Structure 1
Amino acid sequence: MDSSIFHALQERLFASHAVASVGSVALATAVSYPLDTIKLLIQVGSSSSKQLTATQALHRLQTLSGYSGLYSGFGWLTFGRIFGVGTRFGVYEILTAFYKDGREDNYVYVSEALMAGMAAGAAESLISSPFELMKVRAQVSSASRVQSSSSVAENRTVALFTGRLLHGHTPDLKALNHSAGLLSILTTKHPNLIGALQEYPWMMTGSGRPPSVCNVRRPSDIVSLEGWGAFWRGLRPGVVRDSVFGGIFFSSWQFLHQAMLDWKAVGMHPEPRSDEEIGPLSPLAVSLAAGFSGTVAAAASHGFDTAKCRSQCIVVPKYISMERKMLKWNRPGKRFERYTGIHPSDRNLLLRGIWFRMARSGLASFVIVGSYFLALDHLIPS
C-alpha cells in the first residue's frame, strides 16, 4: 500500500475516533446535566439544621429561572468534560500500555487498572477544575435571588476600589453605613477614616463579608477579586474524588469485562487460549458494564464531591488568601480532613445528593460508551 494512502487512512481513523469521543461526551453531558444541577443544589443548599430536598430545589429553580435553569453552566461543563474525560481515558491507556507490554494476551489485572485509574483521575481533576468552578457558580446563581441596584444614585456611591475589583456590584448601603458608623467613635489623625475603610474588599457587602457567588461568576470578576488560584479552589477534595472515581471505575469495569469474556468462553470448542480468540463483546454489554461501574465509583467518591462543590461556592478575596499564607493559617479539622480538603462543618452533609450523582454518573457512563460505539459504526466503514 502506498505510504500516502496509509497516512490518509490513519488520519481518517484518528479523526473518526476524535469526533465520536467528543460527540459521545457532549451527548452524555446533555442527557445527565439536569440530575447534576439538582444534585449540586442539594449539596450546597443543605446545612446541618436544614436539609434541602430535591422537590424544594426544583421548585426554587423553577420559580427563579424556569426549567431552563436546569442547564445553567452547561457549556462550561461540556468543555470541561471533553478535555477531562479525554485526559482520563488517554492517561489510562498510556499507563496500561506499559502493563500489557510483553504479554501475549494484552491482559490487564484489576489491581493494575485500579492504579492506572487513580493516576488518570488525578490528571483529569487538574484540567477540569476551572470549568467546574464556572459551572458550579452558574448553577447556584440560577437558584438564587440576585439583588440589583435600584437607582443610579446608589451606583455613584459605590467605592472606587470596589468597582475596580468587581464591576457592576453594588454593596448593601444600609449595612455599609451601619458598619462605618460603629467606627465613628474612634479618634485618629486620618482625614477620612470611614471613607478609607469602605474601600477595602472586606466591606464590599457593607457587613465585612465577601460578595455572594452570584456576583462573582464571570471569569474576569473571579480573576479580579479572588485571583487566578481561585479556579483551582477545592483541588484537594477534587483530586481525591477523581482519583477514587477513576480507580474504582476502571477496576470494576475491567473486572466485569473479564467476567463477561469468561462467560462467553463457556462451551466454546476448542477452548480459547486468549481473549482475542473469544471475540469482542456486544456494545450493549460493554455500555451496561460501564454504567454500573460509574454508579459504584460515584457512590464511593461522593463525599469528596460534596466537599469540593461546597468549597467552590465560597468567595475568598485574594487579600484574605494572602493573609492566610503570611500568618501560616492551619486548615481546620482532623488530619484526614486537612489532607483531603473536607471542612469539619460539612461532616454531616457529605452524603447529600448521593442518589442523584450515582444516577448521573451511571447514565453518563452508559451513554458515553454506547454512543461512542454507535458513532464509530457509522463513521468507520466495515
Structure 2
Amino acid sequence: MGNLLQENMFAGHAIAAAGSVAVASSLTHPLDTLKTLLQVGAGSTQQLGIAQVVERVRLVSGVSGLYSGFGLSTLGMISGIGARFGIYEIITAFYKDGREDNYVYVSEALLAGIAAGAIESVMLTPFELLKLRRQVSASRFKTSISHKAMQESTPPISKLLPGYTPDIKAWNSTVGLLSTLSPKHPDMVGALKQYPWMLTGSGRPPLASDVKGPFNIISLEGWSALWKGLRPGIARDCVFGGVFFSVWQFFHIAMLNWKALDINPPPRSIDEAGPVTPLASSLAAGFSGTVAAAASHSFDTAKSRSQCIVTPKYIAMERKLLRWKAPGIWLERVTGMSPADRNIMFRGLWLRMARSGIASSALVGSYLLAVEYLF
C-alpha cells in the first residue's frame, strides 16, 4: 500500500487531506452546532445562552444531536477546503515562478487567500445549507399531528413539500377567518391551498427544520435555494481565506528567520533554513484560523440566518417581478446582511474562534503527520 501511494503522489496526498478533514470535523462539529443554534436562535428581544442551547438539544435529540449534519459537514469541508488550498497553491505558484527562492510575500498570500475563499464558498454553500437545516431540526420539539389527515385535505403538500406536517390548528383558524368573507370564488379555500406559503395554515412559509431534505428544498424553494446565503458566504470565506493565509505566511516566515539565526554560516535564502516542524506549523495554523474566524464572523452570522429562512420560489419570483430591494446600507445589500441583525452579528463568536482554531490546527497537524507516514 505504501509503495502504491508513493507511486501515485496525488492519490496519497488526497487520502491524507480527506482523512485530516474528517479528523478536524469530528473534533469540532459539536462547537459548530452550538454556534449555529446561537446565531439562528437570537432575536432583537431574546437571545438564548449556550447553557439553554445545550439543554434544549439534550432534551430534543440527546447528545447525538450535537453531531446533526456531521456527514454533510465533512463532505462539504473536503470539497471546500480542498478548493481553498488547491487554488491557493496554484496562485502562489505563479507568484513564485522565476524567483530564486521559494518565497511568497504576506500581501501575495492575502490576495491568493481571498481568491481561494471565493471558490471555496461556491463549493461549500449547498452542503452548509443542508447541514444547517439538520442542526436546527435537532433543537426543535416535534408536534404530534395527523399528517395523513392533513395531506387528504391539502393534496399539494405531498407534491410540493413531501414529509411536511402543517399546523392544523392554525390552518383551521385561517379557514374560519376566510369563511366570513363573501365567497365570490366557487372554492376560495381550495384555491388558497394551492399556494405553498399557505401550507402552514398561518400564511407563513414552513420552518427551516421542516424543509431540510434536498428534494424538499428544491420542490419548495427551487434549485437556486441550494446556494442561499452565497453572498455573505463569499464575503466570509474571502475574508477568512485572506486573513488565514496571510497570518500563517507571516508566522511561517518569522519561524524560518528565527531558525536561520542558529545556522552558521547564515543561509543565503530563507529556503536553506529548512522546513518548519509539524507542531510549529500546526500551532501557527490554529492561531491563524482563530484570527480569521474573528475577522469574518459577522458574515458567518449573516449566512447562517439567511439559510435558516424558507422563501418559497413563488415569493422569490414576486420579489423579482416587483424589483424588491433589500434594505440596509450598501455594504449590507452587497454582502446579504440584514439591518435587523446588526446587534447580533457577533453571536457565537468565541465558539467559532475555538472551532476554527482547533480545526485548523488538527487539519494541518494530521495532514503533515499523514504525509510523513505515507511517504
Distance 1:305 1:193 in 2: 43
Unpaired runs of at least 5, structure 2: none
The answer to which of 188-197 and 146-155 deviates more is 146-155
Q: CA RMSD in A?
A: 1.5
- Deviations 1:299-330 (Å, cap 9, x if unpaired)? 00000000000110000000000111111110
Amino acid in structure 2 at the alignment position of 1:92: Y
Q: Does 1:267 align with 2:268?
A: no
- Deviations 1:120-171 (Å, cap 9, x if unpaired)? 00000000000000000100000111224237434422x1122210112232
The residue that corresponds to 2:353 in the other structure is: 358
Relative distance call for 1:71 and 1:196 in structure 2 (3 A) is same
Amino acid in structure 1 at the alignment position of 2:176: G
Q: Equivalent residue of 2:48, what SS?
A: coil
Relative distance call for 1:231 and 1:204 in structure 2 (3 A) is same
Aligned counterparts, 1:19-168, within 5 A: 19-150=15-146, 152-157=148-153, 159-168=154-163
Relative distance call for 1:150 and 1:189 in structure 2 (3 A) is closer
Amino acid in structure 1 at the alignment position of 2:177: L
Distance 1:261 1:131 in 2: 38
TM-score (normalizing by structure 1): 0.95
Relative distance call for 1:368 and 1:162 in structure 2 (3 A) is same
The residue that corresponds to 2:227 in the other structure is: 232
Distance 2:70 2:233 in 1: 19
Relative distance call for 1:176 and 1:142 in structure 2 (3 A) is same
The answer to whether the Cα contact below 8 Å between 1:180 and 1:198 also exists between their aligned partners in 2 is: no
The residue that corresponds to 1:3 in the other structure is: none
* 1:204 aligned to which of 199, 202, 206: 199
Relative distance call for 1:307 and 1:92 in structure 2 (3 A) is same
Distance 1:327 1:11 in 2: 59
* 2:166 aligned to which of 171, 180, 190: 171
Amino acid in structure 1 at the alignment position of 2:287: F
- The count of residues paired between Structure 1 and Structure 2 equals 373
Aligned counterparts, 1:283-322, within 5 A: 283-322=278-317
Distance 1:371 1:202 in 2: 47
Distance 1:217 1:9 in 2: 39
Displacement of 1:106 in angstroms is 1.7
Percentage of identical aligned residues: 61
The residue that corresponds to 2:13 in the other structure is: 17
Relative distance call for 1:151 and 1:355 in structure 2 (3 A) is closer
Amino acid in structure 2 at the alignment position of 1:85: I
Distance 2:334 2:17 in 1: 34
Q: Equivalent residue of 2:208, what SS?
A: coil
- Deviations 1:42-76 (Å, cap 9, x if unpaired)? 11111121121111110000010000001000000
The answer to whether the Cα contact below 8 Å between 1:177 and 1:206 also exists between their aligned partners in 2 is: yes
Distance 1:192 1:355 in 2: 54
